[in-house]
Structure 1
Amino acid sequence: MIIASNVGSKERESDAADFYTVIPCATKILNRSSVYTHQKFRKVQAQFRGKVNCITRSTNSVLGSSLYEVVEQVFNSIFNKFVVTYDSVAAQVKCQCLLFESRRILCRHPLSVLSFERVNKVSPRYILK
């Protein structure tokens, strides 16, 4: 229990040390503002950078809801496929990998879909305080 307390304390100290540091944003559809800690923001940026390894293909579309297959190259000739659902009316996106649901970070697969759909801003529901 003490170890977990120390880890949290170290993270807070790191964020306090980084408070006045400007971190360049990897994309224009996400503004750092004051909603992310530096540590979380770096993880989010890594997802934006990782989407360059993704190829997005629309597979089905019905009444504002679209289904996409996102193929991600993870190593030389190794590819993983992910299914992403995008609801343009509700501005919701959901990936089968469930990274957002488990770690509260929007993963590269829906980010790739949002880019494919030419969405200019990430919905505030995916930017957590």
Structure 2
Amino acid sequence: MFRDVQEQFLKKADCTVKVISKEGDMYSLLVGQQKLISNKPIVDTYKISFDLVVRECHCECNLFQSKAILCCHMLSTFAYFELNEVPTCYILARWSKNVRRKHTFMKSCHDENCSDESNNLYRGLCSHFFNVAQDFVRNTEDASILHLAMDGAQTTLHDHRASKDQSRVPSRQSNKASET
């Protein structure tokens, strides 16, 4: 993902921005991107709409809508309006290095430590859930009861975790008599 974004930043150098019209805070722009095809320079033009106050940009190439990557045309628009930071609406949690994904507990031969305790616990639980679900998947009534049981187990576990977290926090009681 880093390389894909980096590529768009490099392509930004081949772009020129031209304002077509302005209505209030909404700008319509044309961004020309120069490309070399068979050693001949060709300029592709893309229409951009940009709201300066909300800092929302839309490019007709639709790279952000399809791959969630800012295109060089949008990056050029931000540079044109001297926005030194990418607007927060374009920073998606799924590209963050701190994102928590459920599939990270699954065993992979690429993991450095495949025998990690959380991976073993996860695999054991998945195996148990699979076996239970396999027994009750043929009947919708049985499956509904299993869903309710799982919801109840989840609630119980959340309550248990919350009570453990509260017992770890030391209570601070201020007593004027003991201070003196």
TM over 0.5: yes
Confirm whether residue 49 of structure 1 aligns to residue 18 of structure 2. Answer: no
Over 4 Å off, 4+ runs: none
SS in 2 for 1:122: coil
Larger proportion of helix: 2
Q: Please identify the structure whose Cα radius of gyration is greater.
A: 2
Q: Deviations over 1:44-101 (max 9, x none)?
A: 1111111000011011011100011001111132110000111011110110000000
Confirm whether residue 119 of structure 1 aligns to residue 83 of structure 2. Answer: yes
Larger proportion of strand: 1
Structure 2 partner of 1:87? 51
Q: Which runs of 5+ in 1 are unaligned?
A: 1-39
SS in 2 for 1:71: strand
Aligned equivalents of 1:74, 1:111: Cα separation in 2? 17
How high is the TM-score relative to the length of structure 2? 0.49
| Of 61, 70, 76, the match for 1:97 | 61
The higher-RCO structure (CA 8 Å, 6+ apart) is 1
Give 2:56's aligned amino acid.
Q
Give 1:112's aligned amino acid.
S
Aligned equivalents of 1:105, 1:125: Cα separation in 2? 12
Aligned residues: 90
